[in-house]
Amino acid sequence: MKYVDEYRDSAAAGKLVAEIRRQATRQWVLMEVCGGQTHNLLRHGIVDELRETVELIHGPGCPVCVTPAEAIDFAQQLALRENFVVTSFGDMLRVPGSRDSLLSVRGRGGRVKIVYSPLDAVEWARRNTDQQVVFLAVGFETTAPATALAVLQAEKLGLENFSLIVAHVRVQPAMEALMNSPDNRVQGFLAAGHVCAITGFKTYDQFVRDFRVPVVVTGFEPIDLLEGILECVRQLESGRAEVVNRYARAVRRAGNQSAQQVVARVYEIDDRPWRGFGSVPQGGFRLRTEYERFDAQQRFGRGPTLQLPVMSGDGCRAADVLAGRLRPTACPEFGTRCTPDFPLGAPMVSSEGACAAYYRYS
Ligand code: SF4
């Protein structure tokens, strides 16, 4: 299959591994930002194959994992209110908030509905005007265009029973927070290719100047990942720090400007809390003033707080895993009290979570 088979070619992968080893005079510490990259690095054995040459630290790029517990808690509160239905992508249902998950709230009678697109939630609101339909809007710059379109569609339809819990986050500010952290060890980044497909990568020019680290826009197939690693190693060995696009079949320097425009029309950049990071300056989006009537927090955030049972997530080191300070297998709960069937934390729940990746592939 074109654009797939050639990026999984084992002979080509072997040559890239050999070249990375030949170039490296020491072990370098790189971070792959995206959880999808983490899964493929483990699935294809690249982490182990290059262990002596490159230490790969797994980044915070799992949108489900970094969604703050408060957003999930609020969704649970609304799901239990009369005439409310909370809509969400399916992978959010098992993610623990500070006390519980949406799935268990649904088991106790909460109204939680899985949708495949924010526009499905708008359509549900159009057909059920007796319900307040709230969409849990999570994800990076990749999903923000779709929720912005949903807001515009709800406005066009004149819906007064549709709103969002806005928990969208932006990747680059989290990378800046990592670099500013006193215990940072990252020397180069594999930037998330699908995010850059929307945002482009010209904003990394300043990042590279500020922090003197290579940033290589990288895809998800084994050859993509190895080419990204090789580019980082080459730069580090020659003392360079540049932005390079190694995912040219999907990413342009300016990104997808139509998507950027729809996001900019509906959202503005704001400081946002990230699970594992705390408040990240300019780390997410909020609805612009003219769309605040679609903000569930503004409309319904002052209602009575219901008591939810405390979740047994004690001992979860998700914050350290998400900030790259702890390898999942070093968590004392990994594979014992915490498994994909009985997860204690979001990184074991999500299909992009680092703990789930290690459980599945290591
Ligand atoms: S293994 Fe489980 S308990 Fe440990 S950090 Fe990951 S999700 Fe949390």
Amino acid at 204: Y
Q: Can 5-62+171-245 and 68-168+256-300 be said to share one CATH topology?
A: yes
Q: How far is the CA of 46 from the centre of ligand 1 (A)?
A: 22
Statement: the pTM of the whole predicted model exceeds 0.95? no
Domains of the chain, by residue range, sit at 5-62+171-245, 68-168+256-300, 318-361
12-20 own/partner pairs: CB under 8 Å, 24+ apart = 12/223, 13/44, 13/222, 13/223, 13/226, 16/223, 16/226, 16/227, 16/229, 16/230, 17/46, 17/49, 17/50, 17/226, 19/230, 20/50, 20/53, 20/54, 20/226, 20/229, 20/230, 20/233
Strands 215-218 and 243-245: parallel
From the CB of residue 140, how many other CB atoms can be counted at a distance below 10 Å?
A: 23
Q: How far is the CA of 57 from the centre of ligand 1 (A)?
A: 16
CA distance 67 to 140: 10
- What are the 10-residue block averages of pLDDT along the chain, 362 residues in total? 81 97 97 94 96 94 86 94 96 85 94 97 98 96 97 98 96 94 94 97 97 97 98 98 97 98 98 85 96 96 50 71 90 94 88 92 87
- The whole-number pLDDT of residue 158 equals 98
Domain 68-168+256-300 = CATH 3.40.50.11740:
yes
CA-nearest residue for atom 1, ligand 1, is 334
Q: Which atom of ligand 1 is nearest to the CA of 346?
A: 7
- The whole-number pLDDT of residue 305 equals 46
- The whole-number pLDDT of residue 259 equals 98
Q: 5-62+171-245: which CATH topology?
A: Rossmann fold (3.40.50)
Q: How far is the CA of 345 from the centre of ligand 1 (A)?
A: 5
Q: Which atom of ligand 1 is nearest to the CA of 355?
A: 6
